Amino acid sequence: MRKNGMSFDSRNEECGEMDMTNEQYYDLIRPYEDARRLLETRLEILNHSLYGSRAVCGPIHNMQSRIKAKKSIEDKLKRLGQRDGVTNARDYLQDIAGIRVICYFVDDIYNVAAGLKRQSDLVLVKERDYIATPKPNGYRSYHIVLGAPVYCLDAMEYFPVEVQFRTMSMDFWASMEHRICYKKNPEHRERLEQEFLTYAAVLKEIEEKFEEHREHRESGGPLEEAD
């Protein structure tokens, strides 16, 4: 059976599959770990090869990756109205494996993402550009889900890996917003949300100023005097 562009086991939870055990969880995530490592390697190669000798350093500042914990899988399936189990996890979740890529500039994000999409053995499943169109709360990021080939004996299967691209300022904003506005269920939520929307605009402006400095440096022109 194919769901979300991937090929998966055709068993149906409604036909008797029990909730996922710890052993089933570890079996489930093994190929996702392989897919994640493959994407991490591709990203590392792009980081030191994409710009060649034109830059002292690559477009990526750092990378973080994770495999969704068993409880996180169970909670997300519940939010989706699906029963816990291996088949539903495969069929309905595209972010069991995830990589967060922190780039220096917005152009770096688009360049690295384009480099991944040009690789013929990766399958583009989904992309969401929250940089061009930020979320109403000010969240900015670029999300892409890619199917990565995982080979086992004489078979090959694609497994999805969600890659989130952010600049350092986007990551700072998202991390603080998640900690203050989401995790702790704060008082005065509406006021905080409005303040964070303002912070997002300020950080975007700062980011654009750094872009200007980079452009002046790369063009060899003089920096403009500050007002």
* 143-181 tens-digit pLDDT: 999 999 999 888 999 999 999 999 999 999 999 888 887
* 146 contacts 160 by C-beta, under 8 angstroms: yes
CA 186 to chain centre: 26
Q: Residue 89 gets which letter from DSSP?
A: H
Place of tokens 């972010």: 95
* pLDDT bucket at 225, cuts 50 / 70 / 90: very low
- The phi, psi pair for 109, rounded to 5°, reads -60, -50
β-pair partners for 148: 159
Question: Which pair of tokens denotes residue 31?
Answer: 């190929």
* pLDDT bucket at 214, cuts 50 / 70 / 90: confident
Bridge-based pairing state of the strands 155-167 and 97-103: parallel
* pLDDT bucket at 187, cuts 50 / 70 / 90: low
> Does 6 have pLDDT greater than 70?
no
Residue 185: per-residue pLDDT = 59
> Does 182 have pLDDT greater than 70?
no
Q: Could you give the domains of the chain?
A: 22-168 (3.30.460.10)
Global pTM exceeds 0.85: no
Bridge-based pairing state of the strands 123-129 and 155-167: unpaired
How does the average pLDDT of the chain come out, rounded? Answer: 86
* pLDDT bucket at 209, cuts 50 / 70 / 90: confident
> Does 224 have pLDDT greater than 80?
no
Q: What percent of the chain has pLDDT over 70?
A: 82
pLDDT, tens only, 18-70:
688 999 999 999 999 999 999 999 999 999 999 886 556 899 999 999 999 99
Q: How many angstroms separate the CA atoms of 129 and 109, rounded?
A: 11
